[in-house]
Chains A and B, each alone.
Chain A
Amino acid sequence: MISAEEFTNQLVTEFEDVEPNTVFPDTNYREIKNWSSMYALIIIAFIDANFDVQLSADDLKNTQTVRDLYAIVCEKMK
């Protein structure tokens, strides 16, 4: 599994108009520039495509930071 930093960098490339050096593992992903509910779907697609892991609506509800997402992906890949 890649590091949390690499996970964050890859995730950021999925978002439109977000500078890579503005988002870190401990960033609250809902505070990413121009956040909208559409981003939640983009996160789900990214994680499904790259890690073959599905995030539920509850997983999203229970997470705040990119690192939280990373932790769920690591847990589900076990």
Chain B
Amino acid sequence: MSFVTVNNISLKGIAAAVPSVKYSNLDYSHVTVEERELFIKTTGIKERRVAPQGMSTSDMCYEPAKQLIEKLNWNKEDIDVVIMVTQSPDYFIPGSAVILQDRLGLKKSCLAFDINLGCSGYVYGLFVLGNLISSGQLKKGLLLVGDKSTVSTAFTDKSAYPLFGDAGSATALEFDENAKTMYFNLASDGSGKDAINIEHGGSRNGIQKDTFDLIEIEPGIAREKRHLKLNGIEIFNFALREVSPNVNELYAKSNQSMADTDYFVFHQANKLINESVRKKLKIADVSKVLYSLEKYGNTSSASIPLTMITEASDNLITKSNNLCLCGFGVGYSWGSALIHTKPFICLPLIEL
């Protein structure tokens, strides 16, 4: 694990968007009604938002970014860097951050690049963008985080299809010499690369004759090699093994206290995983642990900002808060952060 700090960063605002199309897991006709009910009870995921054909990940980040810039009253000329965190980019090339630099009307001297991370991506993105701004040479930056995960899940794969929802988000960071230190604990273990994986389509396997063959893995799980595969047991064990030690170490090394934390905002994997993590961390006050997965499912890297604005915006807008953020998943990649926020702008959830 890597314990690191970032200074001089103030979080100024968050906005997020989801598609307006709702899919209820009660209607998931690939499995029996009993299985649907057990799935919902165990994972906590009732509904998900699904982006229609033609709506890309950058579309889901564009609208929050545009509205946030307006609400902040930021001059577009002052935005020095835009980072996009996604694993479902609009195209293989070019990256999505560059597309959004132009579409948002940002200046050409604006840095724009993508980071390929999923569930851990928001925490990593805050760290990378925070570092770029921290020296004061670049003053304002946008962290755009989102995924259209449903583009790669197979309807006939009950182990993946009902879990994921689509979402995009925008977070505004600004250089501020008076800001409190942000603490991060970041980690990686690429030996878990097969646990969440899209086998075909990349440079390893490309597109082959069998890329689009529907293959039954076991009853209820059939998918093509271009689809996302998910090994639930391995991922669960990864989360049980790595997440709580990472968060505990973050608190120990930063000399911060869990009792002083106002909100724990964890990646919304599923209720069984998240509640297991909560219990391992011995967080007794469940009202501090935010959940949005019932309504939006697992929204990959967007889950942390989406959960912040849908579940705690009243307090985030009006009060100062100590937040513990934690993302974990595909890679494996994981990380946690302790950040102190002053009242900041949270836009109401945007529906596209």
Contacts and interface: CB of A to CB of B under 8 A. Distances in A.
Interface of A: 16, 34, 36-38, 40-42, 44-45, 48-49, 54-57, 60
Contact of A41 (B35, B37, B233, B279): B233
A37 B159 contact: yes
Contacts, number: 46
User: What DSSP secondary structure best describes chain B's contact surface?
Assistant: helix
Contacts of B220: 37
Contacts of B159: 37
Given A41-B272, A57-B234, 4 more contacts: A36-B38, A44-B237, A45-B276, A55-B237
Contact of A34 (B34, B231, B241, B276): B34
B103 interface: no
A56 B237 contact: yes
B232 A41 contact: yes
Contacts of A44: 233, 236-237, 240
Interface of B: 34-35, 37-39, 41-42, 159, 220, 231-234, 236-237, 240-241, 272, 276, 279-280
Nearest to A44: B236
A16 B276 contact: no
Contact of B241 (A49, A54, A57): A54
Kindly list the 6 A-B residue pairs having the minimum CB-CB distance in the complex, ordered from nearest: A57-B233, A38-B42, A45-B276, A48-B240, A38-B38, A54-B237
27 contacts: A16-B38, A34-B34, A36-B35, A36-B38, A37-B159, A37-B220, A38-B35, A38-B39, A38-B42, A40-B232, A41-B232, A41-B272, A42-B42, A44-B233, A44-B236, A44-B237, A44-B240, A45-B236, A45-B272, A48-B276, A48-B280, A54-B237, A54-B241, A56-B233, A56-B237, A57-B234, A60-B233
A41 B41 CA distance: 13
Contacts of A56: 233, 237
Nearest to A57: B233
B289 to A, nearest CB: 16
A49 B279 contact: yes
A10 to B, nearest CB: 16
Contact of A37 (B34, B37, B41, B232): B232
A55 B276 CA distance: 14
A8 to B, nearest CB: 20
Given A41-B232, A44-B236, A60-B233, A49 B41 contact: no
